[in-house]
Amino acid sequence: MRFELNYIDGKWCESLDGNYFDVYDPATGEIAAKAAKGTAADTERAIAAAKREFYENKNGWRSFCAQKRSEILLSIADELEKRIDEFAKTETIDNGKPLREAMCDVTDAVSYIRYYAGAIRMPSGVTYDVNDGFGPMQSFTVKEPVGVCALITPWNYPLLMGVQKIAPALAAGNTIIFKPSSNTPLTSVKFFKLLENASIPAGTANLVMGSGSVVGDCLSKSEDVDMVSFTGSTEAGQSIYKNAAVNIKKLGLELGGKSPNIIFADADIEGAVEWAMIGVFFNQGEVCSAGSRIIIEESIKDKFITRLKERASKMTIGNGLHDPDMGPLVSEHQLKTVLGFIETAKKEGCKIEYGGKRYTEGECKRGYFIEPTIISGCTEENTVIKKEIFGPVACIETFKTEDEAINIANNTQYGLAGAVFTSDGARALRVIKQIRAGITWINCYNPAYVEAPWGGYKKSGIGRELSTNGLEEYQETKQITINLKPGKAGWYEER
């Protein structure tokens, strides 16, 4: 049995109370490892180490020039790239996703680290040519690290979302306390072993595993934490938002979604069907930006559903290590949650066109598998349309006019993502500009790139990750004004 430890102030350590929690392999339902269960006291130790390193160590990580931080990050990326196969396998055991998807995640993580290693060495700041009654002045801005940053991630992309926060936070010169999901901490532990061997000063990067109600609350309430970056449910984000008011700390929140995928009658049906599958079945539908509301023009509804059912019926389901089209959901709790939404849809009069049941064939008897599911006859009043399911469940609505499609798409508390499928270029741009969401696609669904910003409107969050925006999230902007003619200002006349 593997026993994984927290990493605090440059040392691997058990929790202060000696407790561990079980980490399950979702494909088998068996315990894959035990992880140290961080307490509030462990979290405070990590916060103290990060605070000391940032504010007291004059030769610490913050003092490293951009070039040196960049070189260290590049060395970490190189080490991760050498071990892509190993990390991908661990990610699949941890999360359940198909191995090829895990391979993409690790490859992207390497790319993210290299991107921010380069971004920190690019020009930053702005100069202003100013002058007034005080005489010649020069103003300019510089970018500085925020300070002690708490990074809290979910279980659907354990390594990638961790790196998505860790890379820009460290690039900017911050110190961090990282809390992974209790469902999926294993690749985080492996990644911190890379950080340990990368000449990063003790206290710069700390890992505390444990529950959100203990570790997460402690981080978000602490007056010694300068920023919290959280990805997860809107409900958890609201709690962090309230906790952060203690010291008005900086916040980055990437929260829930219930994203629309609008398909017009003139769209390429075969292409739209496959992209819709990518939008809702990729990563078992455990994707915050999933296109789970498929909004189809009524005249092609039957044709689209028929083809979607045919394609879904050919998807393979199995242990992610065997690289099927879909692996298991992350946990038994999540499986029960998704099945509960499907039962609610039935009770509310929706039609299960395909799937809707736990999958138990062959090697899948003991794991948390579910069939890809298609539900039709949905309206804006149905629970499956209002709530984020976070599973492979496509919920189909219909429309007759362009304005109706836009209204249906925007009738949600969320605003993370959305897409439009049509062969009419003008309509595509016209409609996508009216969708109230931060991440949008035309004639595709789900591609994401480190070069482009990621984040949502409304209850889908605050701030942006990825791109240069993602680096700026972990920076403060300081204005500096220089008097070019030092001496008396002459504002107050001596009498």
| Catalytic (active-site) positions | 254, 288
Residue 206 identity (one-letter amino acid): N
Residue 210's SS3 state is: coil
Number of other CB atoms surrounding residue 489 within 10 Å: 9
Distance of CA 108 to the CA centre of its chain: 13
Q: How far is it, in rounded angstroms, from Cα 307 to Cα 311?
A: 6
Residue 491 burial (10 A CB sphere; 0-12, 13-18, 19+): exposed
Query: Contact at 8 Å (CB) between 373 and 355?
Result: yes
Residue 89: φ, ψ to 5°:
-65, -45
The residues, ordered by sequence, that sit 6+ positions from 374 with a Cβ below 8 Å of its Cβ are 305, 308, 309, 312, 352, 353, 354, 355, 393, 394, 396
Residue 212's SS3 state is: helix
Nearest to 40 by CA among 282, 178, 208, 238: 208
Nearest to 178 by CA among 15, 46, 33, 45: 46
Share of the chain residues as helix, strand and coil, in percent rounded to the nearest 5:
40, 25, 35
Residue 165 is given by DSSP the state: H
Residue 493 is given by DSSP the state: P
Residue 215 is given by DSSP the state: I
State the angle between helix axes of 84-95 and 99-119 in degrees (0 to 180), rounded to the nearest 10.
Answer: 120
Residue 439 is given by DSSP the state: E
Residue with tokens 């078992």: 284
Q: What dihedral do alpha carbons 115, 120, 126, 127 form, nearest 10°?
A: -140
Nearest to 284 by CA among 156, 159, 100: 156
- The alpha helices in 99-177, defined as continuous H runs, are 99-119, 158-171
Q: How far is it, in rounded angstroms, from Cα 269 to Cα 263?
A: 9
